[in-house]
Structure 1
Amino acid sequence: MATLTLGVAAPASAGAGADRRVRIINDTRVTMTQFYASSVDADDWEEDILGNDVLRPGRSVRINIDDGTGECYFDFKAVFADGDVLVRERINVCSISEYRYR
């Protein structure tokens, strides 16, 4: 079972025009098979950002979490190959540059 925590890096400027690119880091021993980031106001998870790809242990991917609304707060959902699912709510993507799973 993967133990998952948030790692916060140097803040970016908040609000309109803010950088919403976030490096997702898999520091677990389990492959991440799906990753979702949806605005806190969304009713569903949208699409799997990884698509046909996976995020293997020790690897990272940089994702632009800009849906065009100017929103900074997103909910994250990560699904792992062992069946673990982690949902974190209200992540401010305007103030972090990475999110680390451990």
Structure 2
Amino acid sequence: MRKYLAVAAVLICAFATPVVAEDLEFLLVNNSSSALTGFYVSAASSEHWEENLLEGSILASNYEVTVVIADGLSTCIYDIRGVFQDGDVVEDLALDLCELGEYTFTD
């Protein structure tokens, strides 16, 4: 009996693969009438926003950019925050970025 348990344990270890977080990628589209000056993405479980992904640049109205989230986390659920040149702030919570594909800001 012990021999079979040992063989089973070896087989389980041989086929076990580490969980590797994949980068998340989606298209960010600004279809609003104001330039996007700040874009923040944080895991929904976090209490704080991560750094501004547009730091030092803007996403003008009617432009788009590919966003890659390579934070090493194994979650798909994130919160996003957009800050606009006209002072508006938009937050969208608990988005599934693994399924998103595209996120569009509008007026």
Q: TM-score band (shorter)?
A: 0.7 to 0.9
How many residues get paired? 88
Higher relative contact order (CA 8 A, sep 6+): 1
Equivalent residue for 1:72, pick from 66, 70, 76: 76
Larger C-alpha radius of gyration, 1 or 2? 2
- 5 Å-filtered alignment, 1:8-87, equals 20-87=24-91
- Which runs of at least 4 in structure 1 moved beyond 6 Å after TM superposition? none
Q: Secondary structure of 1:61's partner?
A: strand
Question: For residues 63-84 of structure 1, what are the alpha-carbon distances to aligned partners after superposition, in whole Å with 9 as ceiling and x for unaligned?
Answer: 1123101110000000000100
- Counterparts of 1:44 and 1:18, CA distance in 2: 22
Read off the aligned partner of 2:102 and give its amino acid letter.
E
Q: Which has the higher helix share?
A: 2
The normalised TM-score by structure 1 is 0.80
- Counterparts of 1:19 and 1:93, CA distance in 2: 10
- Counterparts of 1:92 and 1:66, CA distance in 2: 15
Give me the identity figure in percent.
Answer: 30
Q: Tell which deviates more after alignment, 72-81 or 16-25.
A: 16-25
Unaligned runs of 5+ in 2: 1-19
How far the C-alpha of 1:86 sits from its partner, in A, is 0.4
Q: Secondary structure of 1:94's partner?
A: helix
